[in-house]
Amino acid sequence: MWWILNEVIFRMEPWLRRSPHHVKSFVVILMVSIVTMAMTTFGVWLWALVFVKMSIFKTLEEAVYYSLVAYTTLGLGDVVVPKEQRLLGGMTGANGFLMFGVMTAMLTDTLRHVRRVQHNLRD
């Protein structure tokens, strides 16, 4: 999904070059934030569907809740996986932790690119 965002920002470059730059930076931050939330939502639902398919949880709501708690590494412990599948909980948390790092890098790189394009105009 991030490659789509990259292509969109590449196509927006002529628009990003025109003033005012602060408004355009805000639009880019908003776009990247929405993509980040979509990626997080996708990851949580994917894990929840795996949990339901493996019959670890009885309801989809319980699977989504556990997946969200594990994916965000919050780890409340009010809903837990059975002992035989507890490795999946750690994998969910590790996957979420990794994805938050990737999404932070994506946000940073996108903003760096936008600022570089805008800064090159001033030179």
pLDDT score at 112: 86
pLDDT score at 33: 87
pLDDT score at 111: 82
Distance CA 106, CA 123 (A): 26
- The residues, ordered by sequence, that sit 6+ positions from 72 with a Cβ below 8 Å of its Cβ are 40, 96
Query: Whole-model pTM?
Result: 0.80
Domains of the chain, start order: 25-122 (1.10.287.70)
pLDDT score at 13: 78
pLDDT score at 69: 95
Three-state SS for 77-103 is: CCCCCCHHHHHHHHHHHHHHHHHHHHH
Q: Please tell me whether the peptide bond between 82 and the residue prior to it is cis, using omega within 30 degrees of 0.
A: no
pLDDT score at 123: 53
- Judge contact between 48 and 64, C-beta under 8 A: yes
pLDDT score at 16: 76
pLDDT score at 25: 80
Q: How far is the CA of 31 from the CAs of 6, 27, 64, 66, 104, in angstroms?
A: 11, 6, 25, 28, 14
| 123 residues of the chain, pLDDT tens digit each | 667 777 887 788 788 777 777 788 888 888 888 988 999 999 999 999 999 999 999 999 999 999 999 999 888 889 999 999 999 999 999 999 999 999 898 888 888 888 887 777 665
